[in-house]
Amino acid sequence: MFAGLKPFAPVIAPQSTEKRDRLGWKAPKSGLHDGLLYNQNVSSTEETCTRLTEITNLTVSAGTPLSLYTRFGIGGPADVYAETEDAAAFIASLDVARASGLDYMVMGSGTNLVVSDAGFRGIMLRFTSHGMRSEGTRVSADAGAVLQDLIDFAIDRGLKGLETMSGVPGSVGAAVYGNAGAYGHSISERIRSVLFFDGSNVRLFDNGACQFHYRESIFKRHKDWIIFSTELELEAAAADELRRIADDILKVRNEKFPVTMKCAGSIFKNLLLHELPPGKAAAVPGRVVREGKVPAAYFLEQAGAKGMQRGDIHVADYHANLIYNGGRGTAQELCALIEDLKGRVRSRFGIELEEEVQYVGFPQLLPAG
Ligand SMILES: Cc1cc2nc3c(=O)[nH]c(=O)nc-3n(C[C@H](O)[C@H](O)[C@H](O)COP(=O)(O)OP(=O)(O)OC[C@H]3O[C@@H](n4cnc5c(N)ncnc54)[C@H](O)[C@@H]3O)c2cc1C
């Protein structure tokens, strides 16, 4: 359990100075991020695999298709995939990953990832520790806990504050990372602190230090920081009333996002009205603005997005900001459709949509030079 974990001494590997792409991922050590780079790293990948397999309670595999771990059902192989619910094993795997010099990242349940068809040249780590604890109105949870389990845990104890997020899929760690939210509330409203690893030390940030914003946090700008656990402050309330709210929301959400749908929820972030240029903000009818945000779907719908298709990747015909994989879609088709939609909104409204989904394994996003 991470609740009692204290910051530990720096690991041996020095702080990274690698270049990062515009999404924050580390630049490759050399050459293009294609088959060549893979070949250059083969021996090191094998050595790293061997070292990882020596860690007790860590499940390790090589060449694992990430499509098995993403809700889109899309994504080529990770050179190495390792997962554990054991805290000590996870920290040991991080030490090995850092010392290897290979790229590495952590994923949660894969519900918000677009992984390239070529996959991820590096080590994909998954931390599944799902401990949850409560004391009075305070609740803490490990990063690998399922967000819905945490919501249910709080509701069962008559603790209010998370119930509007019912049905948001994924893990607690990723919810903190992306400041997940729904129905006008975000998890950041309830977070007291976050325990994480910054690549050298285990640190504890209070809410302010996390720099939460709509679907944003400091963790999104430091993609190598790994969240271990979080503590939340909730409010006492009647459990049956909280359950009713959660059930009502779940019913609506399950109709909009059928549980078998291969998607990532909303592809694009909504737009904060106060961040739009004044002329464009004034042109948005008041009836479409919700909690200070203009749904991206408002622009997408007018740009003709509903029902669009690339290969087996589709925009839902009932929701312009929902893209799903019909079953045989590829990341290439998905990205082409996303670019097409962004282009349409840009040319019609002069507005740049920003993806809510996170890209993995797209080195072409690296800046030139
Ligand atoms: C049907 C559907 C509906 C959705 N509705 C909503 C919604 O209403 N509101 C909303 O906010 N989101 C929504 N989403 C998006 C998704 O549920 C959230 O983004 C969720 O938080 C992702 O969790 P995950 O565990 O699947 O993360 P992943 O997709 O696996 O990862 C997402 C990001 O989190 C990072 N990450 C994961 N774990 C850690 C960690 N321990 N430390 C640091 N970084 C980490 C990963 O590196 C990655 O960049 C929806 C998705 C789907 C499929």
Let me know if residue 365 belongs to a domain: no
- Closest to 354 in 3D by CA, of 233, 178, 231, 128: 178
pLDDT (average), residues 105-119:
97
Q: At residue 36, what are phi and psi to the nearest 5 degrees?
A: -60, -45
**Same domain for 110 and 75:** yes
In a domain, 245, yes or no: no
Between the CA of 126 and the centroid of ligand 1 the distance, in Å, is: 13
Do 141 and 195 fall into the same domain?
Answer: yes
Q: Looking at the annotation, which residues are catalytic?
A: 215, 266, 356
State which residues form the domain around 309.
Answer: 258-351
Residue 11 lies in a domain: no
* 54 and 136 together in one domain: no
Q: Is the pLDDT of residue 36 over 50?
A: no
| pLDDT in the model for residue 169 | 98
Torsions phi, psi of 343, nearest 5? -60, -45
Do residues 65 and 155 share a domain? no
> Which residue, 127, 154, 187, sits at the end of a domain?
127
How high is the pLDDT of residue 223? 86
Same domain, 151 and 118: no
- Local confidence band at 43 (pLDDT 50, 70, 90 cut-offs): low
Whether 26 is covered by a domain: the verdict is yes
Domain match, 104 and 142 both:
no
Report the pLDDT value the prediction gives residue 7, as an integer from 0 to 100: 32
Q: Is the pLDDT of residue 311 over 60?
A: yes
Sorting pLDDT into bands at 50, 70 and 90, what band is 200?
Answer: confident
Question: Ligand 1 centroid vs 178 CA: distance in angstroms?
Answer: 7
On whether both 109 and 40 belong to a single domain, the answer is yes
The CATH code of the domain that includes 140 is 3.30.465.10
pTM: 0.89
Specify the CATH number for the domain of residue 23.
3.30.43.10
Tens digit of each residue's pLDDT (9 = 90 or more) over 319-344: 999 999 999 999 999 999 999 999 99
pLDDT band at residue 364 using 50, 70 and 90 as cut-offs: low
> Distance between CA atoms of 48 and 289, rounded to whole angstroms?
50
Q: Which CATH number do you get for residue 271?
A: 3.90.78.10
| Residues 275 and 218 both lie in one domain | no
Q: How far, in Å, from the CA of 173 to the mean position of ligand 1?
A: 8
DSSP string across 172-209:
HHHHHHTT-EETTEEGGGGEEEEEEE-SS-EEEEETGG
Q: Residue 44 has what pLDDT?
A: 84
What's the CA gap between 40 and 30, in Å, rounded? 9
Identify the domain boundary among 100, 127, 154.
Answer: 127
In a domain, 94, yes or no: yes
What strands, in cross-sheet order, belong to the sheet with 226-233? Answer: 132-135, 138-142, 226-233, 191-197, 202-206
What pLDDT, in 10s, does the model give residues 56-96? 999 999 999 999 999 999 999 999 999 999 989 999 999 99
Whether 11 has a pLDDT exceeding 60, the answer reads no
By DSSP bridging, strand 159-160 and strand 235-236 are antiparallel
Residue 363 is assigned to a structural domain of this protein: no
Structure tokens at 285: 């009818």
Beta bridge partners of 197: 202, 226
Report the percent of the chain where pLDDT is more than 90: 83
87 and 24 belong to one structural domain = yes
pLDDT of residue 21: 34
Residues with CB under 6 A from ligand 1: 71, 105-113, 127, 143, 168-171, 173-175, 177-178, 180-182, 219, 226-227, 257, 263-265, 358
Domain C-terminal end among 87, 103, 127: 127
Q: Are residues 119 and 144 in the same domain?
A: no
Cα of 335 to ligand 1 centre, how many Å?
A: 18
Lowest model confidence (mean pLDDT) among 10-19, 51-60, 268-277, 283-292: 10-19
Same domain, 264 and 196: no
Return the best residue to mutate from 168, 172, 290 for the ligand 1 pocket (most ligand atoms within 8 A of CB).
168
Q: Whose CA is nearest to atom 46 of ligand 1?
A: 107
Structurally, how many domains does the chain consist of? 3
Name the phi and psi angles at 19, rounded to 5: -70, 150
In a domain, 247, yes or no: no
Average model confidence (pLDDT) across the chain: 88
Residues 155 and 107 in one domain: no
C-alpha distances (whole Å) from 346 to each of 141, 275, 336, 349 are 40, 16, 15, 6
Is residue 262 one of the residues assigned to a domain?
yes
Model pLDDT, residue 19: 39
Which of 64-68, 156-160, 363-367 shows the lowest per-residue confidence on average (mean pLDDT)? Answer: 363-367
